[in-house]
Structure 1
Amino acid sequence: MTIIDGKWLFIGTDLRLSECSRIMGEKGFDVFHYDGNSYSEQLAGILDEITPDHIVFPILQMEDTIPVDKINKSAILYPGVAASDWLAPFSEAGFTIRPYLKEVEFVWENAVLTAEGFLLEYYPSAKRRISGEHFYIAGFGKVAKMTAAVLASLGASITIVARSPEQLGEAAAIGYQTMHLPTGSVDVKGILINTIPAKWLQVDADSTLRIYDLASAPGCLKGNSPDEYYTIHLGLPGKHFPVDAAKALSEALLRMNSR
């Protein structure tokens, strides 16, 4: 038996998980899908019945956890977003843990899908073209880089807002305008896309800055910042491109096991 053989169990209601299960099944793998995000008697029964060799957890951390004694001791676990204390019982029990959200190619592919997904969020809400518009993008990680590239390709002007000199230098070298991440209120007008997963942004009560938040919880607004012009857009790959996102996940799982 090779390391990618055996039974695969996909857990989660996110369409990416069910689609990934389907794709893996079409490739000849022995797959099962549990359509839930929390531990239940049904999931316990599935674990007892099929004793999976590979368990792919939901994109976001499960509402509770699976008792370690319900899992095949040789099983490989693939968490999505998961806190260290949630993972601790599995680590202490000696399970092999391979977080798929740390697989570099998968993260980049998701960044591309997120950037394209943002367009599908922006057009119906703004009802404006992108060409000639000015976008501020907070952060310059993978999602920010792909979003900036997509917007620039459509004729937008870009200002990267970051704290890291390395990120600001890289952004300037590409040709973007740059701005140091402020510690107080942000005094800019127009459109800001946040990709920083932290509460860093303070806006004045009369601000009309339109904020699209693409980062994970807790959102970027600090304190009592007004949220009239603020919207959060999570899971865009799964929302707009579930089949493409699932294909990327299946390929990431296979890459993680081939190395």
Structure 2
Amino acid sequence: MKTIHKEKWLFIGSDRRLEICSKLFEGMGIPSAHFNSNAYSEELGQLIASFQPGHIVFPILEMQGNIPPELLATGTKLYVGVASEQWADIYQSSGYQVVRYLQEELFIWENAILTAEGFLREFYNGSNRCINGKHFYVTGFGKVGKMTAKAIQALGGKVTVVARSEAQLSEAVSLGYSIQSIQKDFSEEDTVLVNTIPAQWLFLQNHSPLRVYDLASAPGCLKPGSFAEYYTIHLGLPGKHFPDDAAQVLAEALLRME
């Protein structure tokens, strides 16, 4: 039987947050290692066999391939980001505990704040315009939508919240935002739409002047057949713009889930 070292952490992935997390753990006196790849390999297997971690943090997105369960010591705890049930079941069916760190409640809120600030940076860099006095549609009013709307409003922007949920629309009104039905045709709008809805719901005609910043997960919000000259998708904004802050948020979440 392999010996498990519960205090040892292994971080896997090329996202800078994971590398920085490993260094943060080392700084706290927690034995840690980082493997800079998003795919399983024989080299990774050799590292696991020699290091024998008690905690393994997988890449933000689903890792290519799986670590053979027989390489893992009994009791190893696994932390995954975005991963299918089929991928995760290989470990769960072998008796390993799998925790989804992207679903930890406080982490979601803190990550949403960083995502909203990341959007501001993308907007400034992409438009060279200020936010004060401009009109923004924010579609979806979950955590990222709420934080994005709040950031825009704080800088003097006018926010219209677009959502399907009556509860979300009612909450938006109570917070002082204008609201709009998601059925609206946005094709002729010469303004900015910030999407946080993880579904293909938006159809745009060719040459639409609408600027779309998509913060939701791939494949984005555009319906098949849409033509959007000013559409951009922005994934992983916390890690892209604020890797040290994002790593600190992730490290704290992992320690809460330990």
Give the TM-score normalised by structure 1.
Answer: 0.95
Structure 2 counterpart of 1:194, which letter? N
- Does structure 1 conserve the Cα–Cα contact (< 8 Å) formed by 2:206 and 2:228? no
Is 1:59 the counterpart of 2:68 in the alignment?
Answer: no
Q: How big is the shift at 1:5?
A: 4.5
Give 2:41's aligned residue: 40
Is 1:140 the counterpart of 2:141 in the alignment?
Answer: yes
Q: Which deviations, in whole Å up to 9, do the C-alpha atoms of 1:93-142 show, x marking residues without a partner?
A: 11111111011111111100011111111112111110000000110011
Give 1:86's aligned residue: 87
- Does structure 1 conserve the Cα–Cα contact (< 8 Å) formed by 2:132 and 2:157? yes
C-alpha distance in 2 between matches for 1:49 and 1:206: 57
Give 1:225's aligned residue: 226
C-alpha distance in 1 between matches for 2:74 and 2:6: 16
Give 1:73's aligned residue: 74
C-alpha distance in 2 between matches for 1:206 and 1:102: 38
Structure 2 counterpart of 1:138, which letter? T
C-alpha distance in 2 between matches for 1:188 and 1:153: 23
- Does structure 1 conserve the Cα–Cα contact (< 8 Å) formed by 2:187 and 2:208? no
- Does structure 2 conserve the Cα–Cα contact (< 8 Å) formed by 1:197 and 1:215? yes
Counterpart secondary structure, 2:193: strand
Q: Which deviations, in whole Å up to 9, do the C-alpha atoms of 1:229-259 show, x marking residues without a partner?
A: 10011100000100000001110011112xx
Give 1:124's aligned residue: 125
C-alpha distance in 2 between matches for 1:88 and 1:193: 35
Structure 2 counterpart of 1:215, which letter? A
- Does structure 1 conserve the Cα–Cα contact (< 8 Å) formed by 2:207 and 2:228? no
Give 1:247's aligned residue: 248
Give 2:115's aligned residue: 114
Q: Which deviations, in whole Å up to 9, do the C-alpha atoms of 1:198-222 show, x marking residues without a partner?
A: 1111011231110000011111100
Counterpart secondary structure, 2:113: helix
Moved more, 187-196 or 139-148: 187-196
- Does structure 1 conserve the Cα–Cα contact (< 8 Å) formed by 2:144 and 2:196? yes
Structure 2 counterpart of 1:140, which letter? F
Structure 2 counterpart of 1:66, which letter? I
Give 1:176's aligned residue: 177
Is 1:204 the counterpart of 2:205 in the alignment?
Answer: yes
Long gaps (5+) in structure 1? none
RMSD: 1.4
C-alpha distance in 1 between matches for 2:153 and 2:249: 25
Q: How big is the shift at 1:65?
A: 1.5
Residues 1-16 of structure 1 aligned to structure 2 (within 5 Å): 5-16=6-17
- Does structure 1 conserve the Cα–Cα contact (< 8 Å) formed by 2:200 and 2:219? yes
Counterpart secondary structure, 1:94: coil
C-alpha distance in 2 between matches for 1:187 and 1:88: 46
Is 1:27 the counterpart of 2:21 in the alignment?
Answer: no
C-alpha distance in 1 between matches for 2:44 and 2:184: 47
C-alpha distance in 2 between matches for 1:57 and 1:227: 35
Q: How big is the shift at 1:185?
A: 6.3
- Does structure 2 conserve the Cα–Cα contact (< 8 Å) formed by 1:200 and 1:222? yes
Q: How big is the shift at 1:227?
A: 2.7
Q: How big is the shift at 1:175?
A: 0.5
Counterpart secondary structure, 2:53: coil
| Seq. identity, % | 51
C-alpha distance in 2 between matches for 1:202 and 1:155: 29
Counterpart secondary structure, 1:66: coil
- Does structure 2 conserve the Cα–Cα contact (< 8 Å) formed by 1:79 and 1:97? yes
Give the 3 Å change call, closer, same or farther, for CA 199–144 of structure 1 in structure 2.
same
Give 1:191's aligned residue: 192
- Does structure 1 conserve the Cα–Cα contact (< 8 Å) formed by 2:79 and 2:101? yes
